Structure 1
Amino acid sequence: MNTATAIRKQTIAKAMSEALASEMERDPGVVVLGEDIGKLGGVFGNTGGLLERFGTERVFDTPISETGFIGAAVGMAGAGMRPVVELMFVDFFGVCMDAIYNLAAKQAYFSGGQVSCPMVLMTSVGGGYGDAGQHSQCLYATFGHLPGMKVVIPSNAHDAKGLMLAAIRDENPVVFMFHKALQGMGWLGTVAGSITDVPDGEYEVPIGKAGVAREGTDITLVGLGITVHHCLAAADALSREDGVEAEVIDIRTIAPLDRETILASVRKTGRVVVVDDDYLSCGLAGEVIASIAEAGIPLASPPQRISHPDIPIPFSPALEHAVLPNAEMTLAAARQSIGERA
């Protein structure tokens, strides 16, 4: 078999690590820092093998002070380096948002374009593990709402590698979110569809461009991260059981949001369900639906959104799983949409 075309199935964690290693090999200005990213290889596996390969001058564990080490990364970026820094859980943003938003995101603007901030902040999102409100949020809309930085979330390993390469090479700060249920860590469990073929060598998945994960004609299902897989599962059931062909859009980039790809799909199908595991109010699902309304697209039935309710994420597994969006909720909403008329 020609090894250049051999299928290389990888987890998102492995794909992220491979992308980091590739860029560190190519550009000596790329460094990686954060809590437990060195010897441990990252709590979620995304920096595995980097310390052994590149040493402690380019891969280093930090003290437990997010404000300090994220602020340091901003300084590194301003000085011409390309740091990749990990905020272990997105929920921890409360102690370091000044460094993220008032420093990193605004650096180019406040300097009149004289000082850029080519920095990647990678962070885990998502619940389902009984880790309660301090470790289980998504907060897509919180970061996507703030000008000056780009925000991405891959749903599979192929996109994870390509988005990471694009993020490191970008002149702007990029928040790289990864969902814990898709990482490929055995102790977490992993959605099988996130483990995909990852080409050897360099390639970029463009930031700001959504993907069509499944083509269809009857209804559009829009997701991001883990909810893409909810949409795909619902689409398979609709095709198998109802004879309905759903198109699935993978948002991939939260900011800037690719409205054009979403709108093109909805114009074709005339129906839409948006599935978002962030909080309901002022969220990304509402933004997508508002964009469809503003475009004046005639719909055959009212748009629907599935999101996490506006409550802190419960600690109890039974309560937590009751409020998390899933494939069954998505399927039910799609069937309701197919059966209704505006």
Structure 2
Amino acid sequence: MAKMTMIEAIQNALDIAMGDDDKVVVFGEDVGYFGGVFRCTAGLQKKYGTSRCFDTPISELGIVGTAIGMAAYGLKPCVEIQFADYMYPAYDQIVSEAARLRYRSAGEFTCPLVVRMPTGGGIFGAQTHSQSPEALFTHVAGLKTVVPSTPADAKGLLLAAIADPDPVIFLEPKRLYNGPFDGYHEKPVVSWKKHDLGEVPDGHHLVPLGSAAIRREGQAVTVLAYGTMVHVALAAAEATGIDAEVIDLRTLLPLDTPTIVASVQKTGRCVIVHEATLTSGFGAELAAVVQRDCFYNLEAPILRVTGWDTPYPHAQEWDYFPGPDRVGRALQQIMEA
């Protein structure tokens, strides 16, 4: 075990993948010489050369379109969209080409592509650097969608995503990049120092896609969360003293439905937490799954704690986020229902 930030764990995963398989290529805006705006690709170009790790023009459509062609040809591209907010020009390529290639070719071609994107707020990035667009990808058949919450999972899930024969959207919560507990804070806390680092297994550590993790066992209520909100949910459970079971989904698609159902059938209550807006957020899908499979076990209505249904409000950023206080109130409310 080594102690790493999430940034270091991602860089380590890319290094291992590139070292193990010369078909793995890494490219995107500023990922080569500079090492990425968040330094996740630092040192890779120097180690593997400009044909394996290289910079691209500022064209997300071009980055993803090129990567799809490479993947169909037999390479394993892992590309970076500098911020998830920038992915919209590439969305048609992701949906119409990458997600459908296997089906359209009757299995003759696959698309072993990973698209990495920093997601969410918390770094004073305003509207164009802070969005959480995961629901736009979970709606698309043919894509897998991953959101890690710890350095160890960031490494293990990324290595599993690179090994997958189909396209994977890999969303990296920016608030967790430099310490797994940044997500606890309701007020701005920006620290670029190494603190509270997570233990990360050495070598080729894999976390299977489609497997959730129970971060806190409990009997009273199930909390479903992913990314930064896992840490917020854990903080809320500790603050309230409620015997909450906190499940880190890790992979939104494929979804680990059996773990969710087993937990809610045990507790009889469910709170869903995510940073994205409420309406048509991924929490709605989770609520539908719980309602379908756990209806006769529920002792209270399912609650969702989310971001607001507004354009991203930079001036009220830390009120917009679900924090331990908001999640704590939801836990108390559902226990009183």
> TM class, shorter-chain normalised?
over 0.9
Q: Deviations over 1:78-102 (max 9, x none)?
A: 0000000011111112211121111
Asked whether the 8 Å contact 2:178–2:195 carries over to 1, the reply is no
What is aligned with 1:281? 279
CA shift in 2, pair 1:192/1:274, >3 Å: farther
- Does residue 212 (structure 1) correspond to residue 214 (structure 2)? The answer is yes
AA aligned to 1:141 is A
AA aligned to 2:122 is G
99-108 vs 184-193, which moves further: 184-193
Q: Structure 1 residue 189: deviation in Å?
A: 3.5
SS at the partner of 2:85?
Answer: helix
Q: Structure 1 residue 309: deviation in Å?
A: 1.6
Q: Structure 1 residue 191: deviation in Å?
A: 11
- For 1:149 and 1:32, locate their aligned partners in 2 and report how far apart those are by CA, in whole Å: 19
SS at the partner of 1:277?
Answer: strand
- Does residue 142 (structure 1) correspond to residue 142 (structure 2)? The answer is no
Aligned sequence identity (%):
42
Asked whether the 8 Å contact 1:156–1:195 carries over to 2, the reply is no
**What is the 5 A alignment of 1:91-130?**
91-130=85-124
- For 2:256 and 2:265, locate their aligned partners in 1 and report how far apart those are by CA, in whole Å: 15
What is aligned with 2:312? 313
User: What is the TM-score of this pair, normalised by structure 1?
Assistant: 0.92
57-66 vs 90-99, which moves further: 90-99
User: For 1:266, which of 264, 268, 279 is the aligned residue?
Assistant: 264
76-85 vs 228-237, which moves further: 228-237
Q: Structure 1 residue 192: deviation in Å?
A: 8.8
Q: Deviations over 1:265-313 (max 9, x none)?
A: 1111111111011111111111111111111242222111011121100
CA shift in 2, pair 1:66/1:258, >3 Å: same
Q: Structure 1 residue 238: deviation in Å?
A: 2.8
Asked whether the 8 Å contact 2:123–2:174 carries over to 1, the reply is no
CA shift in 2, pair 1:194/1:253, >3 Å: farther
User: What is the TM-score of this pair, normalised by structure 2?
Assistant: 0.93
- Does residue 255 (structure 1) correspond to residue 257 (structure 2)? The answer is no
CA shift in 2, pair 1:182/1:191, >3 Å: farther
- Does residue 304 (structure 1) correspond to residue 303 (structure 2)? The answer is yes
**What is the 5 A alignment of 1:51-200?**
51-184=45-178, 188-189=190-191, 195-200=197-202
SS at the partner of 1:261?
Answer: helix
**What is the 5 A alignment of 1:8-27?**
8-27=2-21
Asked whether the 8 Å contact 1:38–1:60 carries over to 2, the reply is yes
**What is the 5 A alignment of 1:214-233?**
214-233=216-235
- For 1:218 and 1:205, locate their aligned partners in 2 and report how far apart those are by CA, in whole Å: 28
What is aligned with 2:185? none
Q: Structure 1 residue 188: deviation in Å?
A: 4.8
Asked whether the 8 Å contact 2:29–2:55 carries over to 1, the reply is yes
SS at the partner of 2:32?
Answer: coil
- For 1:151 and 1:195, locate their aligned partners in 2 and report how far apart those are by CA, in whole Å: 25
294-303 vs 76-85, which moves further: 294-303
User: For 1:331, which of 324, 328, 333 is the aligned residue?
Assistant: 328
Aligned residues: 328
